Amino acid sequence: MVDYYFEYGEEALIYTVEKERFNGLFTLEGKFYSKDENDGFNYTNVIYMPKVRVVSNIDLRLGERANPTVSVFNIIGMPENTQNAKNSLILEITRLNSDIDAEI
């Protein structure tokens, strides 16, 4: 778990989506970045969870000029049977060979 906080000095528009709006099952896909402790390079990682249930509210800050923020929400990953896996799949993380968003 990673928590990141910063002080934002201006006014912002925040939308809160209550967990009652997310009664069903969803697929979670996203990307995050990591630095390899051996070679020091940054890598892009793609996370995939085929079946999740949202169990908390989600706070979103939207807008063309909105600063990126970290939002906290809780989910429960549920197993999904796949043809390629012996066991049920809950979470798959793919580490790409580079940081795809790095400035060249």
Per-residue pLDDT of the chain (104 residues; tens, 9 = 90+): 455 555 666 676 777 767 677 678 888 888 888 888 888 888 889 999 989 888 887 776 666 666 666 677 888 898 887 666 566 888 889 988 877 777 65
Q: What is the pTM of this model?
A: 0.61
Residues for the chain: how many in total? Answer: 104
Residue with tokens 């809950």: 90
Is 41 contained in some domain? yes
pLDDT of residue 62: 64
Is 25 contained in some domain? yes
Residues 6 or more apart whose Cβ sits within 8 Å of residue 8: 67, 69
Is 84 contained in some domain? yes
pLDDT of residue 4: 55
Domain holding 46, by residue range, is 14-95
Q: How many domains does the chain have?
A: 1
Which of 90, 93, 18 has its CA nearest to residue 54? 18
Is 39 contained in some domain? yes
Is 101 contained in some domain? no
